[in-house]
A and B are shown apart, each in its own frame.
Chain A
Amino acid sequence: MSETNIDTHQTSTSTGVDNRKLLMWLFLGSDCLFFGSFISTYLVYRNRSLSGPYPNEILDIPITTVSTFVLLMSSLAMVLGLNYVKEGRQVIGRYWTLATALLGMVFLGFQVYEFTHFAHAGLTPRTNIFGTTFFTMTGFHGGHVTFGVIWLLIFAGSSLANTIRQRLLILSAFLSVVVTMIGFFMTETLDVIPHMPFAVTLAFILLGSLGTVLSLFMLRTPDAPSSVISNQESNLEIAGLYWHFVDIVWIVIFTVVYLISANDGAPLL
């Protein structure tokens, strides 16, 4: 018999790839077909809306370009976070991981804004076939981003933090960002909610930003002796695979919806 210890529950795998990482790759392969189906449906149904609003009347390319940029930057943050965690620099690794999640939240904020704006402008999933395909496709993408944000936040708050204090700070950073975003969102709805004083909106934004900065600042204290074990980095790597994939899907959706079909109008019958 060889020296390798194969008696304990198989810790080494046949290919050397971690089982969970392989599972994630397989899931992503499967998810390609999931988004592929939505995107194909969108493309097949292009130019088939019988009534407006049509894409050329409603799509706002500049603002979506900004949100796309935000999402792409979140992928950069993810790479940096994983890199630092691998180097054993837990504090800065945690910052970048949190930054990934928070940028993801900002992207989602843009999406909520866009959806509300469209609804105000008269485009819902029931309005026409563009609304039907647009909202389902981008909505399920948003759902994927939401899941990723929750995953990264929980990961930053559980595996990359070792004390209750750090966890509470991560929670407060998260809540502060939510409060800030609600504040920004209220500026958009000032005309909808009549008696909303502007001061309240401003307070939301200011307090939220302050809370975010403060929580992140207080998180800078170094941890008790390095506790990042190798398992954590492979866990983060798996979350990263998912995150990058969801980003790539967005690039496709952005291209298909905002670049290719931005000039689609009434059907050419």
Chain B
Amino acid sequence: MTTISYPTIIPRPKEYVTGIWGWLTTIDHKRIGTMYGVTAIIWFLIAGIEALLIRLQLAQPEGKVLTPEVYNQMFTMHGTTMIFLVVMPLSAAFFNWIVPLQLGARDVAFPRLNAFSYWAFLFGGILLNISWFTGEAPNAGWFAYAPNTQVPYNPTNGVTYWILGLQVLGIASLAAGFNFLTTIINMRAPGMSFFKMPVFVWMTAVVNVLIILAFPIITVALIQLQFDRLFGTHFFNSAMGGDPVMWQHMFWLFGHPEVYILILPAMGIVSEVLPTFSKKPLFGYSAVVFSGIVIGFLGWFVWSHHMFTVGLGPAANAAFAISTMLIAVPTGVKIFNWIGTLWGGSIRVTTALLFSVGFISMFVIGGLSGVTHASPPSDAQQQDTYYVVAHFHYVLMGGSLLGLWSGIYYWWPKFTGRFLNEKLGFWHFGMVLLGFNITFFPMHWLGFDGMPRRIATYPEGMGWDVSNLVSTIGAFVLATGILIFIFNVVYSNLRMPKTASNDPWDARTLEWTISSPPPHYNFEEIPEVKYRDDFWYRKYPELAFETHGGGSDHTEQEIDENHHGDIHMPDPSYYPLFLGLGLTIMIGGFLPFLGHWIVCGIGLVIFTWSFLGWCYEPVND
């Protein structure tokens, strides 16, 4: 039998490489998680600076800090960056780091695809932000309503950058979505049935179902918009029979599941943090899981509540109002379950717990203001005012980001082996909570006073001056809190000793059974799972009797040294990096600059070559 060896253009790195090449070729889910996190925090600082500039502009009437054109670019990029380059990848950082560990797996199902997701995310973000340097950043708002985005009304390339950048980011999210779902469905430790999975894994599963079903819709909408702009089609051109409202439907059909993509990971994190620091199992595990699923499901039937003022008619508005209010039910169930978890627990007040509690309270405020605009008549008053701005910052910052910070403080010892400084953490939490409320609470009043969102400036005497000034001061308090966080991270990495044990918080899930930080193969022996919160009952077998009505078998478990064979880990690879690069160059080549089709062709060549190289990449043995 003749075997044909394929020519390898790039040799596959053999070992667990260190140094810069190690990071560029890594397919280790933990390193990829770290890269996601670090990159997301850098984007967070950039988008934060954009937010501060917006607040400076609005601090006083007739602000002169930004021109109206730049102001439009600023709020568009602030929103787009915060959603697609900060909250989603920060969640992805946790998916990467935590999901395989909580499942008792050695890596995700497709390690190279995972690395590709990261590189596509990085390059997509860069493509989006290159627009700043060409002076034509996207300026149509994060939901880019037609016909504002059509060439006659928006002749610069800003919207094109936005389309193409989001296309790359969407592909990155889709690839990650397939990967995590496969991992969760197929890589659970023996014995871990679906209802023994930790809640964070459950929420990851729901989020990734939403991702793989919602992102194709925005992909198509972006393709249509791109064709309208670049090739003269008429999807959103009413002069030729198209319909701008179609864009709104397509966008929000994606956009509403997207907001649950942003919030559910934080809900998962909080559901891990609260039981640990209350020394109690999560109150109503099944209810929390089911309400997460229900939120994900109902999220598909509410998109038109973003369009109450479009004039879809009373029947549509009533239907969407009802479905929107229904979502408050599973959300409320979760809130009560979290409170029930804290109730009667032996609570240890750590920074992680503070952030989780902060999450619950801020999210309740954001949720309640959300219910107020679930009602069409009330929404007609609030639409496009600062009230809406206040609402979504309460759920996205007060919700998602506080939850994600809680996760950062909770899992930091697992990530690094070091603790984040708790005292600095307390100040971080305090400043952020204070600054956040000073910034965004006045916006409720501004909205009711009729201040529209997205105006570059406002005249004196509208009664908006004081609230705006307070809000700007709050933004800087908030920024100080974030700087304390950055300082804390740097300080802890330089000054704090590596003291974290395997299980520093006395926690319940499998990631705490291994060393901090974990070895690159995670588990020396794949754990076998008997109960929900298996690790807890392994530590406290007597509690298993109380909870499960049967003795724990874990005492019988012994590690058979002879059984422990070689651990085969997949090898690092250069191809994910090149595939991501080729994809971005190819898609970036659609920007109408001189010779752009040549760039597109070069991207296609790199993409095809890396794709084939990827398929035929040998496995080192």
Interface: A122 (CB within 8 A) = no
Q: Select B567's contact among A7, A41, A45, A267, beta carbons within 8 Å.
A: A7
Q: Select A26's contact among B178, B525, B564, beta carbons within 8 Å.
A: B178
Contact indicator A136/B1 (Cβ below 8 Å): no
Contact indicator A1/B563 (Cβ below 8 Å): yes
Contact indicator B2/A37 (Cβ below 8 Å): no
Contact indicator A126/B231 (Cβ below 8 Å): yes
Which residues of B have CB within 8 Å of A23? 109-110, 178-179, 182
Contact indicator A132/B242 (Cβ below 8 Å): yes
**Most central of A5, A41, A44, A128 by chain B CB within 10 Å:** A41
**Most central of A23, A49, A225 by chain B CB within 10 Å:** A23
Interface: A19 (CB within 8 A) = yes
Interface: B250 (CB within 8 A) = yes
Which residues of B have CB within 8 Å of A225? 1
Q: Select A10's contact among B187, B192, B528, beta carbons within 8 Å.
A: B187
Selecting from B87-95, B216-224, B499-507, the interface stretch reads B216-224
Interface: A162 (CB within 8 A) = yes
Contact indicator A33/B213 (Cβ below 8 Å): yes
* CB within 8 Å for A10 and B242 given contacts A22-B186, A41-B224, A136-B224: no
Which residues of B have CB within 8 Å of A14? 185-188, 192
Interface: B526 (CB within 8 A) = yes
Which residues of B have CB within 8 Å of A48? 241-243
Contact indicator B570/A9 (Cβ below 8 Å): yes
Contact indicator A30/B216 (Cβ below 8 Å): yes
Bound-state CA distance A11–B40 (Å) is 33
Interface: B240 (CB within 8 A) = yes
* CB 8 Å contact bits of A136-169 with B (1 = contact, 0 = none): 1000100000000000000000100011100000
Contact indicator A132/B234 (Cβ below 8 Å): yes
**Most central of A7, A45, A128 by chain B CB within 10 Å:** A7
Q: Select A49's contact among B213, B216, B232, B241, beta carbons within 8 Å.
A: B241
Contact indicator B565/A29 (Cβ below 8 Å): no
* CB 8 Å contact bits of B285-307 with A (1 = contact, 0 = none): 00000000000000000000000
Bound-state CA distance A226–B359 (Å) is 61
Min distance, Cβ B207 to any Cβ of chain A, angstroms: 14
Interface: A254 (CB within 8 A) = no
Q: Select A163's contact among B2, B185, B220, beta carbons within 8 Å.
A: B2
Bound-state CA distance A5–B560 (Å) is 12
Across the interface, name the chain B residue whose C-beta is closest to A44: B246
* CB 8 Å contact bits of A103-128 with B (1 = contact, 0 = none): 00000000000000000000001101
Bound-state CA distance A32–B220 (Å) is 12
Contact indicator A45/B186 (Cβ below 8 Å): no
Which residues of A have CB within 8 Å of B246? 41, 44-45
Across the interface, name the chain B residue whose C-beta is closest to A133: B235
* CB within 8 Å for A37 and B560 given contacts A19-B182, A129-B240, A163-B2: no
Which residues of A have CB within 8 Å of B616? 158
Across the interface, name the chain A residue whose C-beta is closest to B615: A154
**Most central of B186, B187, B212, B563 by chain A CB within 10 Å:** B186
Bound-state CA distance A2–B616 (Å) is 35
Which residues of B have CB within 8 Å of A19? 109-110, 182, 186-187
Interface: B127 (CB within 8 A) = no
Interface: B8 (CB within 8 A) = no
Interface: B274 (CB within 8 A) = no
Contact indicator A224/B186 (Cβ below 8 Å): no
Which residues of A have CB within 8 Å of B177? 26, 30
Interface: B190 (CB within 8 A) = yes
Bound-state CA distance A5–B565 (Å) is 9
Which residues of A have CB within 8 Å of B192? 14
Contact indicator B241/A31 (Cβ below 8 Å): no
* CB within 8 Å for A7 and B182 given contacts A29-B213, A128-B240, A225-B1: no
Min distance, Cβ B101 to any Cβ of chain A, angstroms: 14
Bound-state CA distance A48–B557 (Å) is 70
Which residues of A have CB within 8 Å of B213? 29-30, 33
Across the interface, name the chain B residue whose C-beta is closest to A227: B1
- Report 25 cross-chain contacts, Cβ distance below 8 Å, ordered by A residue: A4-B190, A7-B526, A7-B566, A9-B567, A9-B569, A13-B186, A14-B186, A15-B186, A19-B110, A22-B182, A27-B212, A29-B212, A30-B216, A34-B219, A37-B217, A37-B220, A41-B224, A41-B250, A49-B241, A125-B227, A129-B234, A129-B240, A132-B227, A132-B240, A227-B1
Q: Which B residues form the contact surface with A (CB < 8 A)?
A: 1-4, 105-106, 109-110, 174, 177-179, 181-182, 185-188, 190, 192, 212-217, 219-221, 223-224, 227, 231-235, 240-243, 246, 250, 525-526, 528, 557-560, 563-570, 616
13 more CB-based (< 8 A) A-B contacts, given A22-B185, A30-B215: A1-B528, A1-B558, A8-B565, A9-B570, A10-B526, A17-B185, A19-B110, A26-B212, A30-B212, A125-B227, A128-B241, A129-B240, A136-B233
